[in-house]
Amino acid sequence: AQSVTQLDSQVPVFEEAPVELRCNYSSSVSVYLFWYVQYPNQGLQLLLKYLSGSTLVKGINGFEAEFNKSQTSFHLRKPSVHISDTAEYFCAVSDFGNFNKFYFGSGTKLNVKP
Amino acid sequence: NAGVTQTPKFQVLKTGQSMTLQCAQDMNHNSMYWYRQDPGMGLRLIYYSASEGTTDKGEVPNGYNVSRLNKREFSLRLESAAPSQTSVYFCAGQGQLNQPQHFGDGTRLSIL
């Protein structure tokens, strides 16, 4: 089974500053990778996904993530954050051997300050 | 487009009561899932259904049962609720197996 680690439980950042949210997963087998965002009292919305191809993936709201197979990482980045980006972000991994199982990290709360 | 719809949105139960959480999707998803979300623990899979007529246990199935009534509907039942089952429950659907899961807005369940 996969394990997904989001080392930072909370990330405070000022508006218009860049941000990186880190995600590492355990297994080196072929994987599918996802980032989701959750606003207060809402469900999870897909930000972006990596299935294959280019290791740099662009998503909605100006976010992007880079797949690094050797480091088993899929870090999320945004060059300039807005107040509206304040939310909790979840990394998820699904591996080729068991497509029905999504493994989620524990989440990172991004707090954008004015 | 409704997507994945969960009912109810909120519920308070007493210990020992039973309840069924409903989930319906109109996205023609083959697979459906039930998760619980607890602070600092991310989402944990309770049960899933890879296709109509099949169900399988996830990471934390104890105390729960599920029914895949048809392709659209996947319900989660608590037969005898316990305070440890206080959580936010999310239903999700998935089309092809290399595609993202799509989530409902959740059911916030408190058990006193």
Decide: A6 and A25 in contact? Cβ < 8 Å: no
Please provide the DSSP assignment of A76-88 as one string: EEESS--GGG-EE
Residue A67's pLDDT band (cuts 50, 70, 90): very high
Tell if the CB–CB gap between B106 and A34 is shorter than 8 Å. no
State which amino acid sits at residue A78: K
pLDDT in tens, B66-103: 999 899 999 999 999 999 999 999 999 998 777 889 99
- Across the range B3-23, mean pLDDT stands at 96
Task: For residues A104 and A113, give the distance between their C-alpha atoms in angstroms, rounded to a whole number.
Answer: 27
Contacts of B55-61 spanning 24+ positions with Cβ under 8 A? B56/A100, B58/A101, B58/B33, B58/B34, B60/B36
Closest CA to A21 of A6, A43, A36: A6
Question: Is the Cβ pair A45, B103 closer than 8 Å?
Answer: yes
Question: Is the CB of B50 inside 8 Å of chain A's CB atoms?
Answer: yes
Give chain A's end-to-end CA distance (angstroms, integer): 41
Name the minimum distance, in Å, from the CA of B18 to any CA of chain A. 24
Q: Is B79 in CB contact (< 8 Å) with chain A?
A: no
